[in-house]
């Protein structure tokens, strides 16, 4: 058994997908609203038996690997590692040295976190500890978040880690550097070629969703803040275990509370998140001072579709909020904005009046209400120029709302606010999104990346062709009947025809049908493999409650209808040929007789099917 097969055997696709979206049992299979496009009727089908999924709305499908790649934005190797960890499977294609390297990096980071936490509780970290207490943090909060302190020396952590672990190979400078904990010295003649990256700073550990310590944010100590010209905060670099665009500070602690509250509050800074936790608000994560990324929003969507942003009130915070709003709307989450009644950020607001901040969460404004207030504040809306300016800025945000009914609601609302005719507003909105304004208010390239292409719309004949193939995949005992009663040229759709021809060859060789065997037979035909899975799930979706007799009746019904389409199409073709022949002054009578005979035969065959 290959490692991929081993992972599939140990992970249940239903349990995996259920971590991201609610699923409902329908017969032997499961259905859900597709997580990759907006829909109101479930078209996302999962087969626990075959461990595959397919959406009949957007056309995406595959196995647990393709689902994780789509949902988490990973390439195959990244998805393989993630699922291998979940399944407890050791990947042999990654050398033991590579696997050991990642594990050792995680071990080094965990040990560094313990070291910093120990120093914070010692005399060396007393000033930093007292500062955190003055900021209003409880001792248990400091402990719960494993806050620490990096001594203001050149190489204390480096020297500590060099002596570890107690047994086995010691950590090397190269490993510490790969973890982002030390830097190489550029000084000539230096006795020690390495020094600690973080010195004289309060340490905030950053954990991934699986509670692995992967990075740090480090705040300058209070006594150095006013005397040294250096960054207030510095962060771990990107490493093999830390990708900042895919991690949200505090999500490992907040995920259960987010599910319970069905709401996530996103703040800007780590101290904001910790302060919320300190005041009994647990469904909070921090974006670490940047705008939310697409991957972070996808991560949050696993736990709730409701998000409230509480970014700092300064210019940078508001710009980050605006960018975050676009990412959230692009993934069809419900977004509200928390307006701080006091304080420049959530931490300060909580310290001034925690009850007021909690009320602000409850009173969070729908995004477009907030945005209208923001873009119209300070403008004289009696002036037409200002009205048009506000209207266009609102148009740029409204067009990001995927729900057409909600779009209509907001167009009506701003037409009232600006004293414009609603019909004129709707007309101008259509012009706006198809004009040059469209690109001036949004990034076209980014929008293109986020657009999910819908599955191609099939003709009635193609749909029937897929259905009859899906039916015999579910009820393979009827394959011989299909071969005897439906010629290949009665099917529609190039890939359906190719699949039917292939099925005939496969079945005649095997003298039976097995989904697993046919997958092996099609191992070099990627498109046909995808179609096989699609047909299997289509059969499960449409015919999950059919018995054998009902399936036989449906098979006869569809084959009859496909034959009718065939002869109707043939009659139209012959009539066209006759009309073209009649236009010729000296047409061949034999040709005309041949066409008339063909027309008569086709008409008679069609009558039999009526």
| Integer Cα distance of 146 and 2 in angstroms | 40
Average pLDDT of span 538-558: 92
Q: Which tens digits make up the pLDDT trace of 372-419? A: 888 898 899 889 999 999 999 899 888 877 777 878 888 998 999 899
pLDDT (0 to 100) of residue 591: 86
Q: Specify the DSSP class assigned to residue 193.
A: S
| Integer Cα distance of 522 and 504 in angstroms | 13
pLDDT (0 to 100) of residue 209: 84
Q: What is the mean pLDDT of the chain?
A: 86
What percentage of the chain carries pLDDT values higher than 90? 47
Does residue 435 contact residue 508 with C-beta atoms inside 8 Å? no
Using 50, 70 and 90 to split pLDDT, how confident is the model at 315?
low
Top pLDDT among 463 and 326 is at 463
Using 50, 70 and 90 to split pLDDT, how confident is the model at 262?
very high
Top pLDDT among 536 and 298 is at 536
Top pLDDT among 58 and 445 is at 58
Alpha helices in 444-510 (DSSP H): 444-450, 460-474, 479-485, 494-510
pLDDT (0 to 100) of residue 280: 96
Average pLDDT of span 562-566: 89
Rounded to 10°, the helix 64-72/294-301 angle is: 120
pLDDT (0 to 100) of residue 318: 60
Question: CA torsion angle for 282, 283, 284, 285 (degrees, to 10)?
Answer: 120
Does residue 529 contact residue 63 with C-beta atoms inside 8 Å? no
Does residue 128 contact residue 202 with C-beta atoms inside 8 Å? yes
pLDDT (0 to 100) of residue 443: 45
Q: Which tens digits make up the pLDDT trace of 359-384? A: 999 999 888 888 888 889 889 988 99
Q: Which tens digits make up the pLDDT trace of 45-81? A: 999 989 999 998 888 899 999 999 888 767 787 788 8
Task: Identify each DSSP E strand in 293-356 by its residue range.
Answer: 306-310, 334-337
Using 50, 70 and 90 to split pLDDT, how confident is the model at 445?
very low
pTM: 0.60
């Amino acid at each position: 058994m290959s490692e991929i097969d081993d992972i599939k055997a140990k992970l249940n696709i239903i349990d995996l997908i259920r971590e991201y979206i609610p699923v409902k049992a329908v017969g032997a299979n499961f259905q859900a609203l597709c997580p990759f496009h907006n829909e109101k009727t479930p078209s996302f089908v999962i087969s626990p038996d075959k461990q595959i999924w397919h959406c009949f709305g957007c056309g995406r499908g595959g196995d647990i690997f393709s689902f994780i790649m789509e949902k988490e934005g990973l390439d195959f190797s990244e998805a393989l590692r993630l699922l291998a960890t979940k399944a407890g499977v050791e990947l042999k294609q990654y050398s033991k040295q590579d696997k050991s390297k990642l594990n050792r990096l995680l071990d080094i980071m965990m040990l560094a976190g313990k070291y910093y936490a120990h120093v914070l509780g010692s005399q060396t970290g007393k000033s930093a500890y007292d500062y955190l207490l003055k900021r209003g943090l409880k001792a248990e909060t400091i402990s719960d978040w494993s806050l620490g302190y990096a001594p203001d020396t050149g190489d204390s952590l480096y020297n500590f880690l060099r002596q570890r672990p107690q047994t086995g190979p010691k950590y090397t400078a190269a490993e510490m550097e790969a973890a982002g904990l030390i830097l190489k010295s550029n000084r000539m003649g230096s006795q020690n070629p390495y020094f600690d990256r973080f010195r004289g700073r309060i340490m905030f550990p950053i954990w991934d969703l699986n509670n692995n310590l992967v990075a740090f944010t480090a705040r300058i100590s209070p006594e150095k803040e006013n005397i040294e010209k250096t960054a207030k905060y510095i962060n771990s670099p990107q490493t093999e275990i830390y990708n900042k665009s895919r991690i949200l500070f505090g999500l490992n602690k907040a995920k259960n509370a987010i599910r319970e509250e069905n709401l996530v509050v996103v703040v800007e800074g780590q101290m904001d998140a910790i302060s919320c936790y300190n005041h009994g608000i647990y469904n909070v994560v921090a974006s670490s001072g940047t705008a939310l990324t697409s991957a972070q929003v996808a991560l949050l969507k696993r736990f709730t579709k409701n998000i409230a942003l509480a970014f700092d009130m300064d210019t940078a915070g508001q710009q980050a909020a605006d960018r975050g709003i676009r990412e959230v709307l692009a993934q069809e989450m419900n977004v509200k904005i928390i307006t701080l009644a006091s304080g420049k950020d959530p931490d300060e607001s909580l310290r001034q009046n925690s009850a007021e901040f909690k009320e602000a969460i409850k009173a969070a404004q729908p995004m477009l209400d907030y945005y209208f207030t923001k873009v119209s504040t300070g403008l004289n809306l009696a002036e037409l120029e200002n009205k048009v300016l506000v209207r266009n800025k609102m148009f740029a945000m409204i067009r990001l709302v995927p729900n057409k009914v909600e779009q209509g609601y907001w167009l009506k609302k701003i037409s009232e606010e600006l004293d414009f005719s609603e019909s004129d507003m709707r007309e101008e909105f259509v012009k706006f999104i198809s004009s040059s304004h469209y690109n001036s208010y949004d990034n076209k390239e980014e929008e293109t990346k986020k657009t999910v292409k819908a599955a191609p719309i099939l003709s009635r004949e193609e749909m029937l062709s897929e259905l009859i193939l899906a039916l015999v995949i579910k009820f393979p005992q009827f394959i011989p009947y299909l071969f005897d009663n439906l010629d290949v040229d009665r099917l529609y759709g190039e890939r359906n025809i190719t699949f039917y021809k292939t099925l005939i060859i496969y079945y005649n060789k095997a003298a039976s049908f097995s989904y697993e065997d046919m997958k092996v037979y099609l191992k070099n035909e990627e498109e046909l493999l995808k179609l096989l899975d699609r047909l299997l799930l289509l059969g499960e979706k449409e015919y999950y409650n059919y018995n054998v007799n009902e399936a036989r009746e449906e098979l006869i019904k569809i084959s009859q209808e496909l034959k009718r389409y065939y002869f109707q199409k043939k009659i139209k073709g012959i009539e066209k040929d006759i009309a073209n022949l009649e236009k010729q002054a000296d047409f061949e009578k034999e040709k005309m007789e041949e066409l008339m005979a063909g027309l008569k035969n086709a008409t008679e065959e069609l009558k039999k099917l009526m």
